[in-house]
Amino acid sequence: MNKILLVTNAFYRTERLEKQYGMLEEAFASRGVKVERATNAELVYGLNAGGAAFSRDLPKAALSWDKDVPLAKALELAGVRVFNSSKAIELCDDKVLTHLALAAAGVPVPDTYPVPMSYANIGYGDASFADGILAKTGLPVVFKEARSSYGMGVRLLSDAEQVKKCIRETKSDMLLQKYVMESHGRDLRVNVVGGRAVCAVTRTSDGFCSNVLQGGKMHATELSDEAARLAVAAADAVCADFAGVDLLFTKQGFTVCEVNTSAHFGTVKEVTGINLADEIAKHILSVV
């Protein structure tokens, strides 16, 4: 293989993402593979009885750094091997689907309760069902919007009326999760590539969320066997070739908080010395 497609989002661009795309381009170039970048707006396709027809020639593999699930499915329909697959992206872009997949695989997660679905034009006139959930989770409780990233859409709520207010005001799927007090303001991010736990960083914050983009700090951490096994099991459960798996600390060990199919890794290299772009390129080229 001498070329791979790198799929990015046309409407969300940041300096951190550009740096990451550059790292991926360098990793493949050092192995004699050219990265052809294209946004989801540039990859125009049509669907017909013959499958998915694209307006450009496609290489046999694509690296998707976007959450455009229909596009990933269309690329697969056109015979392109997509990393991560459309299934993995779909499962990880929705926290409810993520936890369903983890629960089905027997992977430990905090007690999680999806909020009943309503329609955007109808909303939640009566959120009293939350009382039944809170009777199981206790307070405070973690409120999460199902499709949110970088710690946004995640809140720690200490009052039942706050919870109901958030439910009524949120126009997307959401869940409530038992608060893991031992992990307040810290988690362990384990980076998995090709079924192997490559490295780990501990993220800490003065607040509730430890995400770096929410002001968290990170430092390199030695991987324990338990954390490595759990992270690999979580990545396998969502069918991910590579992932950033977030583990929470509990009195009994670790539990899985989230799985990210397009996790930022620029800062990981700075604190661990490990270039995850290299690991991802090696894995993809070993598969294709």
178-204 pLDDT, tens digit per residue, is 999 999 999 999 999 999 999 999 999
Count up the domains in the chain and report the number: 3
DSSP conformation letters of 148-171: --TTTTEEEE-SHHHHHHHHHH--
Q: Are 212 and 247 members of one domain?
A: yes
* CATH code at position 67: 3.40.50.20
253 and 202 in a common domain: yes
Residues 200 and 99 placed together within one structural domain of the fold: yes
Q: Are residues 237 and 187 in the same domain?
A: yes
Task: Region of 111 please: left (phi>0), alpha (psi -120 to 50) or beta.
Answer: beta
- Quickly state the pLDDT bin for 215 (edges 50, 70, 90): low
Percent of the chain with pLDDT over 90: 89
> Of 179, 203, 228, which one is at a domain's C-terminal end?
179
- % the chain with pLDDT above 70: 98
- Does the structure show a pLDDT above 80 at 31? yes
- Report the candidate in 131, 134, 118 with the shortest Cα–Cα distance to residue 168: 118
Instruction: Give dist(CA 219, CA 38) in Å, integer.
Output: 33
140 cis-preceded (ω within 30 degrees of 0): yes
Same structural domain for residues 102 and 118? no
CATH code for the domain of 126: 3.30.1490.20
Question: What is the widest separation between alpha-carbon atoms in the chain?
Answer: 59
Please give the residue range of the domain that contains residue 129: 112-179
Q: What is the pLDDT of residues 219-276, one digit of tens each?
A: 999 999 999 999 999 999 999 999 999 999 999 999 999 999 998 898 999 999 999 9
193 lies in the same domain as 268: yes
- Per the model's pLDDT, the better-predicted residue between 243 and 50 turns out to be 243
Q: What is the CATH number of the domain that holds 188?
A: 3.30.470.20
**What is the reported pLDDT for 70?**
98
Model pLDDT for residues 118-135, shown as the tens digit of each residue: 998 999 989 999 999 999
Q: Are residues 201 and 62 part of one domain? A: no
* Cα→Cα distances 278→31, 49, 168, 174, 282, Å: 10, 39, 45, 35, 6
- Across all residues in the chain, what is the average pLDDT? 95
